[in-house]
Amino acid sequence: MLKIFQRLWQVNWAEQWQYRANLIMYLLYWLVSPIIYLAVWTSIANAKGDVNGFTANDFTTYYMTLLIVDQITSNVVIHTFGYKIQDGSLSGELIRPIHPMLTNALVNNIAFKTLTIMGLIPAWIVLFFLFKPDFSHVALTGILLAIPAMIMGFFVGYLLSATITSLAFWTTRVYSIHEFYFALAVLFSGQFVPLTLMPRIVQEIAQYLPFQLLMYYPIQLILGKFSTDQIIQGYVMAGIWLVIAVVLFNRVWRNGVKRYSAVGA
Amino acid sequence: MHTFKLLSAFFKVNVQMALAYRADTIVNILLNLMWLGWELLSLNIIFSNTTTLGGWGLGELIALLGVFRLVNTMMIALIWPNTEKFNQSIRDGSMDYTILQPVNTMFLVTFSRITVWRIWDLVLAIVLIVIGINMSGDIVTPLQILTFILLATSGMIVIYSLWIVLIALTFWFTKFDNNVTILHALLDAGRYPATVYPAWLQVIVTFIIPIAVATTIPLQALRGALSLNQVVLYFFIGIISFLVASRVWKVGLKQYSSASS
C-alpha cells in the first residue's frame, strides 16, 4: 500500500509541477481576502484601541495564522474530481483496485497543497514585514496541539467535500451545492472574523459545525487563546465529525458508484 | 444602428441559451441572494463594533456595496464568460472566424457572451445605492448624481480597458490563459473603501489594478467629496485608458497568427 502511495505521489507531484505558474496565480486568491479583512479590522481596532478585547495585533496575528492554516486544511477536490464523474473519465480509475477518492485524488490534493505552500512561504514573509505582527505570545505547545487538529480538520473537510463531489453521480448541479457549502463555511469557519466577534447565535451554532475545525479552532490553538476545556471540546468535536464524515462519504460514494453508468457506455 | 442590431441579436441568442437551463438560472439567482444576505450581515457585524470604517458610515458602505455590485455585474455578465470564450478561441484557432467578420473585433470579443440573468443585479445595485445614501443622511444634489454616473462609467471603462490589455497579451504569449486571474483576485478589494487599506495596497488598487477607481472614487463623487479637478482627472483617465487599450488591442491583433499555422 505504501508503495502505491509513493508511486501516486511521484505522478501527482510531476503533474502539479507542470502547472506551477498556475498555482502561483491561485495563491493570489488565497491571499487577497484575508488581507482585506486584516486591513478592515485592524483599522477599526486602531481607531478604538480594541474591538471586544481584540487589539490590532490580535487581528494581524489571527489573519496571518489563518493564511497558513487555511492552506493546510483546505482542499480542491470539487475542482479536480467533479468533472471526472460528469464526463465519464472516472471509469478508468474505477477499474483500478484502489479507491479513486481516497488514494489518487487525495495524493493529488496533497501535492497541490505542498506546491502552494512553497509559494505561500515567500509571500507570507513579505506580508510579515509589511504588517509586522507580534507573535511573541505564541508558545510551542500551542503549535504542537494545533498540528493534529489541522490534520483532523483537513480530513474532515476533505471527506465532506468528497461527499459533495460524489453527489455528481446524481445531479449536474454539484457546483451550486458546493457554493452553498462554501457560503456556510464563510459564515461559520471564522474566516471573516474571529468567531467570538460574530453574533451570539452564529457562535452557538458554529461550535457544533465542522467548519470551525478548518480555521478558527486551529488558529486559536496556535495563538494559545483557548482554555483546557475549550481545547478538549474542540478535539471531541473533531473526532465526532471525522466519524460522521467517514460514514457519510462511504454511504454516498458506494451508492453513487452503483448508479454510475459512464457517459458513452 | 448596425451595432445596436448586433447587440440585440447577441442578447437574444444568450437569452435562448439561458432558457435552456431554467433550473440553473433559478439556482443561481438564489445563490446570488444568499451572498447578498452574507454581504449585508458582514457589514452589520462590522458596524456593531464601530461607527465608522475609514471615515465612512454604514449607509455609505451599503452604497459602496451597490457600486461594487455594478462593477461585479459587468464582470460576471460580460467579462468572465467572454474571457473564457476568447482564451478557448486562441487555443483552438477559432479566433480566425471572429477576425473575418466585417465588424470591429474588440466589439465582438466583448459582447458575444452575455450572462443574461445577471442583469437584474443592476437593479439590485441601484436599490442598494439609493438605500445606502438615504441611510447615510448625506444631501445629494443632482450635480453630484451626474458626476457619480460619469465617474462610475469611466471607472468601469478603466477596468474594461485593463481587461482588454490583459487578454490582448495572449496574442503575444499564447499560453497565457491565466491572463485575468490578477483582476479576478483583487476585485474583492472593491467592497471596502480604499482608505481602510495600508498605503501599499491603496497604491495597488488605485494605480495598478484600479478597482478603487470604479468603486471608492465614484462614491466619493456622489457624496460630493471630490474637487472639480479630481472629477475631470478621473474622467480623462477613463478616456485615455480606453484609447490605450484599443491601441494595444490593434497591435496585438496584428501579432495574431492562428493556432494551427
* Half-sphere exposure in the Cβ direction for B126 (13 Å, CA): 6
pLDDT of residue B259: 65
Kindly state the DSSP code that residue B196 receives in the 8-state scheme: G
Q: Chain B within 8 Å of A22 (Cβ-Cβ)? A: yes
Q: Contacts of residue A176 in chain B, CB cutoff 8 Å? A: 24, 27-28, 31
User: Mean pLDDT, to the nearest integer, of B31-54?
Assistant: 91
Place of cell 467533479: A82
Q: In this model, does residue B175 exceed pLDDT 80?
A: no
List phi, psi (to 5°) of A4.
Answer: -60, -45
Residue A192 distance to chain B (closest CA, Å): 8
Query: A181: nearest CA in chain B?
Result: B31
Q: For helices B22-47 and B120-136, what crossing angle results, to 10°?
A: 20
Does A22 contact B31 at a Cβ distance shorter than 8 Å?
no
Does B53 contact A33 at a Cβ distance shorter than 8 Å?
no
Does B181 contact A28 at a Cβ distance shorter than 8 Å?
yes
Alpha-carbon radius of gyration of chain A: 20
Quickly list DSSP for A119-140.
HHHHHHHHHHHHH----TT--H
pTM: 0.89
> Are A51 and A40 contacting, i.e. CB atoms less than 8 angstroms apart?
no
Cβ within 8 Å of A, B 184-243:
184-186, 188-189, 191-192, 196-198, 200-201
> Are B53 and A40 contacting, i.e. CB atoms less than 8 angstroms apart?
yes
pLDDT by 10s per residue, chain A, length 265: 788 888 889 888 888 888 777 777 778 888 898 999 999 999 999 988 889 889 999 999 999 999 999 999 999 899 888 888 888 888 888 888 888 889 889 999 999 889 889 889 999 999 999 999 999 989 999 999 999 999 999 999 999 999 999 999 988 888 889 999 999 999 999 999 999 999 999 999 999 999 999 999 999 999 999 999 999 999 999 999 999 999 999 999 999 988 887 665 5
Q: In this model, does residue B179 exceed pLDDT 90?
A: no
Higher pLDDT, A124 or B55: A124
The residue ranges of every structural domain in chain B are 2-255
CB atoms within 10 A of CB B76: 17
Q: In this model, does residue B101 exceed pLDDT 90?
A: no
Cell reading at B207: 494605480
pLDDT of residue A262: 64
pLDDT band at B260 (very low <50, low <70, confident <90, very high): low
If you average pLDDT over every residue of chain B, what do you get? 88
Does B31 contact A180 at a Cβ distance shorter than 8 Å?
yes
First and final C-alpha spacing in chain A: 31
Does A44 contact B23 at a Cβ distance shorter than 8 Å?
no
Residue B175 distance to chain A (closest CA, Å): 11
Of A43, A176, A199, the CB nearest to B45: A199
Write the burial class of residue A40 (CB in 10 Å: 0-12 exposed, 13-18 middle, 19+ buried): buried
* Per-residue pLDDT tens digits for B195-210: 899 999 999 998 888 8
C-alpha distance from residue B117 to each of A74, A84, A114, B124, B253 (Å): 31, 28, 39, 12, 32
Nearest to A75 by CA among A15, A122, A30, A9: A30
Q: In this model, does residue B168 exceed pLDDT 80?
A: yes
Write the burial class of residue A236 (CB in 10 Å: 0-12 exposed, 13-18 middle, 19+ buried): exposed
Query: B56: nearest CA in chain A?
Result: A44
Residue type, position A34, single letter: P
The residue ranges of every structural domain in chain A are 2-259
Does B198 contact A179 at a Cβ distance shorter than 8 Å?
no
Q: Chain A within 8 Å of B4 (Cβ-Cβ)? A: no
pLDDT band at B254 (very low <50, low <70, confident <90, very high): confident
Kindly state the DSSP code that residue B76 receives in the 8-state scheme: I
Query: B184: nearest CA in chain A?
Result: A29
- List CB contacts of A229: < 8 A, sequence separation 6 or more: none
Of B45, B185, B201, the CB nearest to A193: B45
pLDDT of residue B169: 86
B134 in helix, strand or coil? helix
